[in-house]
Structure 1
Amino acid sequence: MDYRFSEQGGVTHVALAGQLNFAANEDFQAIVERVTKLRGAKVVFDLSGLSHIDSVGLGLLYIAHEELASVNSKLVLQHPRDTVLRMLQLTEADETFEIIL
């Protein structure tokens, strides 16, 4: 998984690319550690470059959601591809996360 950070209007954007799975665990934990330092921020994960997400990747998103909530930050998922969106819907994660199509 590749990622890059950007800042727009006080919102932190994290563009994810590739696959969000067990192999991405270390990189993803580094992302979460960095964004939780932004207490009270809005963090948008841009999923448009993400080609695949599995159950481990989904678990990583839940961890990020919980960690950010613990520091009064908000996580938003943006532009998931069809396959990623389908996984979010099948697991009812779309009821937990704000998803911008």
Structure 2
Amino acid sequence: MDYSVQTTDNGIRVTLTGRMTLVDHDKFRAVVDAIEKMQGTACEFNLAALEFVDSSGLGMFLIARDVAMPKNVEIQLKGAQESVRRILQIAKFHTLFTVLD
């Protein structure tokens, strides 16, 4: 997985690319740090270039949510490809996050 973080008018946008698996846990820590330091009310994860996410990757989104909640930051998962969208649906992430097309 590769990532980039950009500041937006209402928070940050995190763009994820490649495959999000257990080996990316340490790398994802930088994303969590960005959420901890951000200003604003929204953290958008742009998933358009994310090809695959496994259960560890889903867990990383949950860690991000746990960091965002006390700050009243909404986590948005946006633009997932069909294979990633299916995994998010199976995991019922629409009940925990705002999932956008």
Residue range with higher mean Cα deviation, 33-42 or 61-70: 33-42
Q: 1:64 aligns to what?
A: 64
CA distance in 2, matches of 1:47, 1:81: 7
Deviation at 1:17, TM superposition (A): 0.3
1:2-51 superposed Cα distances (whole Å, 9 cap, x missing partner): 11122232331110001111011011111111221125531101001100
Matches within 5 A, 1:78-89: 78-89=78-89
Q: Is 1:38 the counterpart of 2:47 in the alignment?
A: no
Distance in 1 (alpha carbons) for counterparts of 2:10 and 2:87: 30
In structure 2, the gaps of 5 or more residues are none
Q: How many residues align?
A: 101
In structure 2, C-alpha distance between the alignment counterparts of 1:8 and 1:28, rounded to whole Å: 20
After superposition, the CA RMSD in angstroms is 1.3
2:11/2:38 contact within 8 Å kept: no
- Identity within the alignment, %: 28
The one-letter code matched in structure 1 to 2:21 is N
Contact in 1 for aligned 2:12/2:44 (Cα 8 Å): yes
Point out 4+ residue stretches in structure 1 off by more than 4 angstroms.
Answer: none
